Amino acid sequence: MKLLEAKQELDDGEVLQHAMAEVAAAIADPSRVSMLCALMDGRAWTATELSAVADIAPSTASAHLNKLLSGQLISCLSQGRHRYYRLAGRGIASLLETLMGVSMARTPQVKTSAPVHLRKARTCYDHLAGEIAVELYAFMTEAGWFIPEKESLSATGITRFAEIGAVLAPRSKRKEACGCLDWSERRMHLGGNAGAAMLKAFEQNGWIERVPGYREVRFTSPGEQALFHFFNVKLK
């Protein structure tokens, strides 16, 4: 019986190892990495748009997308004659964000050459990232918006979120309010259910606008005022 159990554990381990190798192989190409980074904005993209981002021919993009699909890193949505691609879920987005952080740690010089507009403010799938997001998280932490040991909003945080119109998704299985390591700043920004709710509120309030074609977001004039009023953060 013990031999059978040991063999089962070995088989399970081999299956996991092969699955991990397949995921790594799916990511291990600069063109596919470019596509995945573009999809980190949380929206669905066409193959044509992704081929432009990766600077490759549409026929080549198709082969790369099939590789990502087979690796279950992305999903495909069909609407009429059009097909749209997006990340397979928040878990994939978290994996990519973690990989970015590891990559930045291995190559510190990238810090100075990374696009300034992306370092300032961008989306991390369904929440805000970048320099401003890190400042927001630091302020909220210092002001007691969170209960760190529970990774949830405090009474103060619940009140403040209501003031900015941020509504948490009900019955979510995600952590309510957790830190997410920012790959460009090497500090935390707000992730989880609260992070997604805050980004959605910022958009609905007209405080930010997305830059067409990529993850960058820009704060509007009302957004700049709101940053200072609610978070004591000034845009530089």
Give the model confidence (pLDDT) of 86-95 as tens digits. Answer: 888 878 887 8
- 145 lies in the same domain as 48: no
DSSP state at residue 41? G
**What pLDDT score does 167 carry?**
97
**What pLDDT score does 113 carry?**
44
- Residues 140 and 95: their CA atoms lie apart, in Å, by 25
Domain containing residue 81: 1-88
pLDDT beyond 80 at 97:
no
- Residues 113 and 93: their CA atoms lie apart, in Å, by 23
Percent pLDDT > 90 in the chain is 46
Beta bridge partners of 152: 147
**What pLDDT score does 37 carry?**
84
24 is a domain residue: yes
- Residues 85 and 69: their CA atoms lie apart, in Å, by 9
pLDDT beyond 60 at 114:
no
**Choice among 67-81, 104-118, 123-137, 140-154 with the minimum mean pLDDT:** 104-118
- 113 lies in the same domain as 30: no
- 152 lies in the same domain as 48: no
236 is a domain residue: no
Listed in sequence order, the residues at least 6 apart from 26 whose beta carbon sits closer than 8 Å to its beta carbon are 32, 67, 68, 70, 71, 73
- 75 lies in the same domain as 110: no
CATH of the domain at 74: 1.10.10.10
CA angle 14, 15, 18 (to 5 degrees): 85
Asked if residue 183 lies in contact with residue 118, where contact means CB atoms within 8 angstroms, the answer is no
**Choice among 75-84, 155-164, 215-224 with the minimum mean pLDDT:** 75-84
108: region left, alpha or beta (phi > 0 left; psi from -120 to 50 alpha)? alpha
Please state whether the predicted TM-score (pTM) of the whole model is above 0.75. no
Residue written as token pair 């749209």: 84
Residue where one domain finishes, among candidates 88, 116, 135: 88
Number of domains in the chain: 2
185 is a domain residue: yes
Residue where one domain finishes, among candidates 88, 122, 148: 88
- 60 lies in the same domain as 102: no
pLDDT beyond 70 at 31:
yes
End-to-end CA, the chain: 67
**Choice among 38-52, 98-112, 205-219 with the minimum mean pLDDT:** 98-112
Residue where one domain finishes, among candidates 38, 61, 88: 88
- 224 lies in the same domain as 118: yes
Average pLDDT (50-71) is: 91
